[in-house]
Structure 1
Amino acid sequence: MADSEVLLRRVPSRSSWQRVRKARPHLLLSRRGRRRFGILTRGELRRLRRRLLRAHALGGDWKLGVPGVPHVAGKCQVRTRSRPTPRSRPTPRSPPTSRSQLRPRSQPEARNLAEYRFRTLSHVPPLTQTLSPKVSQPVRELGSGRVLLLLPLWEGFTFSGICRVTCIHGRVEIYGHVIKQGQPPQDVFSAYTHSFLTINGLQHSDPEKSEKKIKREIRALLKPHTKLDDRKWALKHFRPLDSILILERLRTPMVEFLRFYKCASYVFLQENPPSKIDSEYDTLKAIGIKRQRRKKGICLSESGLYALKELVSVSCVDGCPVILLCGACDIGKSTFNRILINHLLNSIPSVDYLECDLGQTEFTPPGCIALLTITEPLLGPPYTHPRRPQKMVYYGKMNCHSDYENYIEIVKYVLRDYKRESPLIINTMGWVTDDGLLLIVDLIRLLCPNYVVQLSSGRGKRMPGLTPEYVDFTDGLYTKSKIRRRYRGFEIPEYGDSLEFTDEEKDSSPVAVFTGHKLLSVHSEFLCSKNEKNRAKYNKIFRDLAVLGYLSQLRPPGPAPLGLLHSLIPYQVPFSAVAIRVTHADVAPTHILYAVNANWVGLCKIVDDMKGYTRGPILLAQNPICDCLGFGICRGIDMDQQLYHILTPLPPEELKTVNCLLVGAISIPQCIFKNQPGPEGTIPYITTNYNFKLPGASEKIGEREYKNALVGYRYYRRK
């Protein structure tokens, strides 16, 4: 009987190999899921201490804690057997105490790190913190094209479409820009042509208040915007540190203008509905947006986060650094620029921007070199935020392959207006091979940046690191290195051995002597569906969207219906008031008016006086370097009265100073021609019987090609 009692006591005991497995140095407690170590029962706490002591006896360093579980060896909170309430949330893991504790990450870990997306640098969670992949933010339809959204702390809401965001309580971040409680609403454009945007909930510093007082304040903030039932719903689902947002349907003149043209209406339309349509989909569809998976949003690598943090801190302390961005085509320079500008505008009132990329401009129609002062955040693609430049020159082409000298002279001419009162961000072309790389070396010596941000990725050709040593000992197109002083056959004589400014330019230029820079290498993880085969087609679409974004300023403000462009009244410009020049080709004087008619023209101001000319159009012998005030469309030419009919959003007081029309390689989007009815069903300037083998003839991208290209974007994101 006694023996049987002993056997009964030994049956539930653990075998020796299980005790050894539990006492291994790396302390794997079990293969099945365990509760968090911050909440343990008294029995679990005793067993945990016993295992740690056994591991210590076997030589394991148990003070380092269990991998993936912080502070196991510290004090643990004893809990009761009752389960926590469903609304309780685990606390985030503690951040590393120093940057040296961040070990090199493997490729899978780097992909997980990209899931954070970019956040406000001063309030960004630690880089080693992980977020739950499945988050659910409560949404509620308010009617009249409005939706109420509760966004928890450090969680993101990735969406497609366009909307107006108002922060009622808390603080959120979009595209690097922080929107606080009480600030005016912001228009957000998450178009299909670019990566989708994410609204991230940030930590907002509130004094220690009771939960009752916080809910009373939230009720008062929601009262002007919501009904009683909506306020009750918000207070029921509200959790501490949540941010409360109101998303509204966005209707602006620019949006209505783009939606009017079929070639541009696809950028704001929703994708096909999902297989399972729930109430949230219907609620968000009422305002024209749709929730997307987080991986479809914009992601920023760890090197990009550190580069942003350093540039923002330097701009806030030193004041006016000059930052130059370079990298290959479609690597994310423009996206990084927008994020950097938004971060800087969180701390300083304005940022200066020098556009040196002719093909994919940010604020102006393509083919321009411009200097701008940015004071408002950029929350969308380039065609959604056209800006008025401080100084602009119309180059007229998408690249400078055949005219480097004129390109550099224009950059010098535009740079003279930089007053060094704000940080300057310089955007360069994506041509980084052969002569393009040497041209970037010339620009670095000419512009003298304090920081060079070089973006790179695993795809495409590798670009050499533009360190100060590399720039010092490399010959450019028109500049020589410090050691090698050989003569090039295409060197410009007036430049000599350097691109130094003249005495007058030195007085007006912010810097004239190259003193070195600091290189910041950023690994790009931005999504891109372009390749060598479809790059030209996509770039054509983006240029047409930029032109349409500029022409959207023709629509008068207010709820008036949009009229066709041919129904608007143009300005009449006499032949004797303006001079004409075709910048990208040699045109015979007898055919110059054919080139100007129904074309995109730059409205410029040159030094020469046009008075005194009475007969025929005035032609310029060479391309001038002059200020460009705006752009327009030459709708027609009246040969009897010798008048140009110009359609432009430029105000009349500025049109009085225009005395030059420049015609470049930038064309009017085809959808503008097709959206104009003609007599007996014909369309002016449109024909199907044409020989494309003639010199100068080119086939334009039609409506079907636009749609197919955008469908390619959507397919790429679904993969």
Structure 2
Amino acid sequence: IKGALAFGAGGGEMMVRGRRQGHSCSGGRMWRELWVLETFTRVSVYQMRHGFELTSSQPQFSDTEILSESLWVCRGFTFSGICRVTCLYGQVQVFGFTISQGQTAQDVFSTYTHSRLTINAVHYSITEKSKKEMKREARALLRSHLNRDDRCWLMKNFSPLCSIVMLEQLKTSTVNFLVSHPGLSYVFVQESPTFQINSEHLALRSVGIRREKKKNGLRLTESALSAMEELVTVSCEEVDGCPVILVCGSQDVGKSTFNRYLINQLLNSISCVDYLECDLGQTEFTPPGCISLLNITEPVLGPPFTHQRTPQKMVYYGKPSCKNNYENYIEVIKYVFSSYKRESPLIVNTMGWVSDKGLLLLIDLIRLLSPSHVVQFSSGRSKYMPNLTPDYVDDMDGLYTKSKSRVRNRGFQLAEFTESLEFADEEKESPVVFTGHKLMCVQSDFAFRKTPRNRESHNKVLRDLAVLGYLGQLQPPVPKPLCPLHGLTPYQVPFNAVALRIIHADVAPTHILYAVNASWVGLCKILDDVRGYANGPILLAQTPICDCLGFGICRGIDMEKRLYHILTPVPPEELRNVNCLLVGAISIPHCVFKSQRGLEGTIPYITTDYNFKLPGASEKIGARETEETREEKVHPKPKLYRKIN
């Protein structure tokens, strides 16, 4: 199922013609359905910067014979749904990533959980060829994708500045697994009454997408675009080495969207980008509760649950926030950051908690990571946050580090100061100098529906989707049918082969296996040798800072054979290195327990007879504490009583 779209360099008038055709398959009489959507954009030259329209001229055309009622002005194609995008001729840009003719197809995920994506035409240089030569080249490129009549129609309306893309239906095992759970199909497709059903609507629906209003698409402010342009220039020049770009700001101001767009922009010019994840609750490439370092070589064209990837270094912190354990949070970041080789630009994503201790932690991070650029987001709807200029960072104490003036006045020696930060030995020998950073202030203008009331439930849904996206890797590749999780064969792990640790709570040793059973577990590698124990389980007294190789579900415990049954997509060659299981506050989505297909009889691990008044029982297992809750606990409001005479 395919569709062909043609765009002008910067938009203009567009006419659509769609029709349905059957193509016979060799080797049989089976037929496949092909929707051909031919869209021709009249040329309108735009001055463009990274694909964003600044000024335009009037459309240049004279032929009016093919104009019809389906003619309208179009500047980019905003859509919802998922599809595979191939640029057949010219250049287009999606989420900041440029797709040119001859490049491999890109899978694009425009979901309802985030701003809709737009395919924008990009102004590109034209070689010194005649229009006839260009048409001959375009016709040759289209020959393997469209039949003769469709090619002739496109060539009749061909312009040297147009771009032609092919949209194909996209099916992946991860998406199929996600939508197999009740209520989650809305993430990709939402049906709504359509008053005008035309050939374009039918063709797009057959591909699996629908046109959306431009106002629903992603919009970046001028300050964001300006900052991005400067960062791309600095990263490509490499005059002062690879830049370290720290992105900060309060919740829901667009930090993650900016990071994705920046990654895609950088990949237009360089081969890879490093990414340090410091936001425990809304991770980008891993399940929640992780600090990770990744080397990104492929564009990011969707939300986190569509691009779960394997980090080069990851630690499972085990909670969606660092509350009550800030020092361990800093230590984990230092451990992961030590693997950064400074061979590519580094983007650092930070938490949205930027008040009180959260701000002090952010100052510690700036001192620890020494970024070359700090991109600070602000919004009219967000809480006040001071500008993190180099002078402000120098003059402020962090949660664990001191300001320059305090260090100078107390007479700290260099060795003592570096000891407090626990730098590596080779770093202690060289002077520790915070050279300062360049502050780039970005004003955000994102329109979102999240409020302090529904923010936590919305974020919990995104965390569940990330876990489901990770579990989708267990499924066989398309076109093989989905297999329910209870139908997959788990690994058997002896009690004495791995150590256990519950991260987020103190659990009595006699109850430790109850906590592990039916839980989300981090598959980790510790330096200690756990071999030599006869029986097990082997319990750790402290939570180690160690490498996490992946995740799994402990779907059962065999007490007779003393085995854990672990379901995980981690390959066997990596599992040989796992000798520790960490259980945290990240929970398995309820739909995994309640909505698995093929279950008969009583559903395991599910009960309605549960007393929330028991000590330790909670309705908010795995919930991320909000800023408002923190403030209420730190500064409780006095109770007011009415005096009664």
Q: Which amino acid letter does the alignment assign opposite residue 404 of structure 1?
A: Y
* CA deviation after TM superposition for structure 1 residue 266, in Å: 1.8
1:602 to 513, 522, 542: 522
Residue 686 of structure 1 aligns with which residue?
A: 606
* SS of equivalent to 1:286: helix
Distance 1:660 1:87 in 2: 58
Q: Kindly indicate whether the alpha-carbon contact (under 8 Å) linking 1:176 and 1:339 is maintained by their aligned counterparts in 2.
A: yes
Q: Kindly indicate whether the alpha-carbon contact (under 8 Å) linking 1:168 and 1:245 is maintained by their aligned counterparts in 2.
A: yes
Residue 649 in 1 paired to residue 557 in 2? no
Residue 574 in 1 paired to residue 517 in 2? no
Q: Which amino acid letter does the alignment assign opposite residue 467 of structure 1?
A: T
Q: Which amino acid letter does the alignment assign opposite residue 217 of structure 2?
A: G
Residue 397 of structure 1 aligns with which residue?
A: 319
Deviations 1:491-524 (A, max 9, x none): xxx9868854434262899x95321000000011
Residue 247 of structure 2 aligns with which residue?
A: 325
Q: Kindly indicate whether the alpha-carbon contact (under 8 Å) linking 1:577 and 1:610 is maintained by their aligned counterparts in 2.
A: yes
Residue 475 of structure 1 aligns with which residue?
A: 397
* CA deviation after TM superposition for structure 1 residue 218, in Å: 1.5
Q: Is the alpha carbon distance of 1:222 and 1:453 closer, same or farther for their aligned partners in structure 2, counting shifts above 3 Å?
A: same
The TM-score with structure 1 as length reference comes to 0.75
Q: Kindly indicate whether the alpha-carbon contact (under 8 Å) linking 1:365 and 1:550 is maintained by their aligned counterparts in 2.
A: yes
Q: Which amino acid letter does the alignment assign opposite residue 300 of structure 2?
A: L
Q: Kindly indicate whether the alpha-carbon contact (under 8 Å) linking 1:168 and 1:181 is maintained by their aligned counterparts in 2.
A: yes
Q: Kindly indicate whether the alpha-carbon contact (under 8 Å) linking 2:418 and 2:428 is maintained by their aligned counterparts in 1.
A: no
1:270 to 187, 190, 194: 190
* CA deviation after TM superposition for structure 1 residue 412, in Å: 0.6
Q: Is the alpha carbon distance of 1:265 and 1:499 closer, same or farther for their aligned partners in structure 2, counting shifts above 3 Å?
A: farther
* CA deviation after TM superposition for structure 1 residue 482, in Å: 1.7
Q: Is the alpha carbon distance of 1:463 and 1:534 closer, same or farther for their aligned partners in structure 2, counting shifts above 3 Å?
A: same
Deviations 1:672-719 (A, max 9, x none): 111336876321111122222333434479xxxxxxxxxxxxxxxxxx
Residue 427 in 1 paired to residue 385 in 2? no
* CA deviation after TM superposition for structure 1 residue 654, in Å: 1.1
Q: Is the alpha carbon distance of 1:308 and 1:668 closer, same or farther for their aligned partners in structure 2, counting shifts above 3 Å?
A: same
Residue 506 of structure 1 aligns with which residue?
A: 427
Residue 367 of structure 1 aligns with which residue?
A: 289
Q: Which amino acid letter does the alignment assign opposite residue 293 of structure 2?
A: L
Q: Which amino acid letter does the alignment assign opposite residue 423 of structure 2?
A: T
Q: Kindly indicate whether the alpha-carbon contact (under 8 Å) linking 1:353 and 1:425 is maintained by their aligned counterparts in 2.
A: yes
Higher mean alpha-carbon deviation, 640-649 vs 279-288, is at 279-288
Q: Is the alpha carbon distance of 1:621 and 1:88 closer, same or farther for their aligned partners in structure 2, counting shifts above 3 Å?
A: closer
* SS of equivalent to 2:404: coil
Q: Which amino acid letter does the alignment assign opposite residue 258 of structure 1?
A: L
* CA deviation after TM superposition for structure 1 residue 653, in Å: 1.2
Q: Which amino acid letter does the alignment assign opposite residue 176 of structure 2?
A: E
Residue 55 of structure 1 aligns with which residue?
A: none
Residue 464 in 1 paired to residue 349 in 2? no
Distance 1:335 1:284 in 2: 26
Residue 251 of structure 1 aligns with which residue?
A: 171
Distance 1:406 1:455 in 2: 26
Residue 173 of structure 1 aligns with which residue?
A: 93
Q: Kindly indicate whether the alpha-carbon contact (under 8 Å) linking 2:273 and 2:297 is maintained by their aligned counterparts in 1.
A: yes
Alignment of 1:650-665 (within 5 A): 650-665=570-585
Residue 198 of structure 1 aligns with which residue?
A: 118
* CA deviation after TM superposition for structure 1 residue 559, in Å: 1.8
Q: Kindly indicate whether the alpha-carbon contact (under 8 Å) linking 1:323 and 1:426 is maintained by their aligned counterparts in 2.
A: yes
Q: Which runs of 5+ in 1 are unaligned?
A: 1-85, 96-118, 133-149, 489-493, 702-719
Q: Which amino acid letter does the alignment assign opposite residue 493 of structure 2?
A: V
Distance 2:604 2:598 in 1: 6
Q: Is the alpha carbon distance of 1:317 and 1:640 closer, same or farther for their aligned partners in structure 2, counting shifts above 3 Å?
A: same
Q: Kindly indicate whether the alpha-carbon contact (under 8 Å) linking 2:45 and 2:57 is maintained by their aligned counterparts in 1.
A: no
Distance 1:558 1:249 in 2: 13
Distance 1:163 1:542 in 2: 21
Alignment of 1:125-524 (within 5 A): 125-126=53-54, 155-318=75-238, 319-484=241-406, 499-504=420-425, 506=427, 513-524=433-444
- Percent of matched pairs sharing the same residue: 64
Residue 454 of structure 2 aligns with which residue?
A: 534
* CA deviation after TM superposition for structure 1 residue 276, in Å: 2.5
Q: Kindly indicate whether the alpha-carbon contact (under 8 Å) linking 1:416 and 1:508 is maintained by their aligned counterparts in 2.
A: no
* CA deviation after TM superposition for structure 1 residue 208, in Å: 3.0
Distance 2:501 2:409 in 1: 34
* CA deviation after TM superposition for structure 1 residue 233, in Å: 1.8
Residue 588 of structure 1 aligns with which residue?
A: 508
Residue 116 of structure 1 aligns with which residue?
A: none
* CA deviation after TM superposition for structure 1 residue 481, in Å: 0.9
Q: Is the alpha carbon distance of 1:193 and 1:679 closer, same or farther for their aligned partners in structure 2, counting shifts above 3 Å?
A: closer
Q: Which amino acid letter does the alignment assign opposite residue 309 of structure 1?
A: E
Residue 551 in 1 paired to residue 471 in 2? yes
Distance 2:466 2:538 in 1: 30
Distance 1:390 1:548 in 2: 21
Deviations 1:242-282 (A, max 9, x none): 10011001011111111211243221123313232222211
Q: Which amino acid letter does the alignment assign opposite residue 504 of structure 1?
A: D
* CA deviation after TM superposition for structure 1 residue 434, in Å: 0.2
Distance 1:441 1:470 in 2: 9
Q: Which amino acid letter does the alignment assign opposite residue 230 of structure 1?
A: D
Q: Kindly indicate whether the alpha-carbon contact (under 8 Å) linking 1:151 and 1:244 is maintained by their aligned counterparts in 2.
A: no
Q: Is the alpha carbon distance of 1:614 and 1:181 closer, same or farther for their aligned partners in structure 2, counting shifts above 3 Å?
A: same
* CA deviation after TM superposition for structure 1 residue 423, in Å: 0.3
2:560 to 619, 623, 640: 640
* CA deviation after TM superposition for structure 1 residue 90, in Å: 6.0
Distance 1:660 1:487 in 2: 45
Q: Kindly indicate whether the alpha-carbon contact (under 8 Å) linking 1:576 and 1:614 is maintained by their aligned counterparts in 2.
A: yes
Q: Is the alpha carbon distance of 1:678 and 1:262 closer, same or farther for their aligned partners in structure 2, counting shifts above 3 Å?
A: closer
Higher mean alpha-carbon deviation, 524-533 vs 541-550, is at 524-533
* SS of equivalent to 2:552: strand
Distance 2:409 2:328 in 1: 20
Higher mean alpha-carbon deviation, 199-208 vs 573-582, is at 199-208
Deviations 1:400-450 (A, max 9, x none): 110011000001100111100000100000000000000000000000000
Which structure is higher in helix share? 1
* CA deviation after TM superposition for structure 1 residue 225, in Å: 0.6
Distance 2:620 2:181 in 1: 16
* CA deviation after TM superposition for structure 1 residue 527, in Å: 2.6
Aligned residues: 566
* CA deviation after TM superposition for structure 1 residue 669, in Å: 0.6
Distance 1:87 1:583 in 2: 57
Higher mean alpha-carbon deviation, 601-610 vs 676-685, is at 676-685
Distance 2:568 2:509 in 1: 25
* SS of equivalent to 2:541: coil
Q: Is the alpha carbon distance of 1:273 and 1:288 closer, same or farther for their aligned partners in structure 2, counting shifts above 3 Å?
A: farther
* SS of equivalent to 1:541: helix
The TM-score with structure 2 as length reference comes to 0.83
Deviations 1:143-187 (A, max 9, x none): xxxxxxx999x9311000000000000000000000001001000
Q: Kindly indicate whether the alpha-carbon contact (under 8 Å) linking 1:169 and 1:243 is maintained by their aligned counterparts in 2.
A: yes
Q: Is the alpha carbon distance of 1:301 and 1:360 closer, same or farther for their aligned partners in structure 2, counting shifts above 3 Å?
A: same
Q: Is the alpha carbon distance of 1:199 and 1:515 closer, same or farther for their aligned partners in structure 2, counting shifts above 3 Å?
A: same
Q: Is the alpha carbon distance of 1:256 and 1:283 closer, same or farther for their aligned partners in structure 2, counting shifts above 3 Å?
A: same
Which structure is higher in strand share? 2
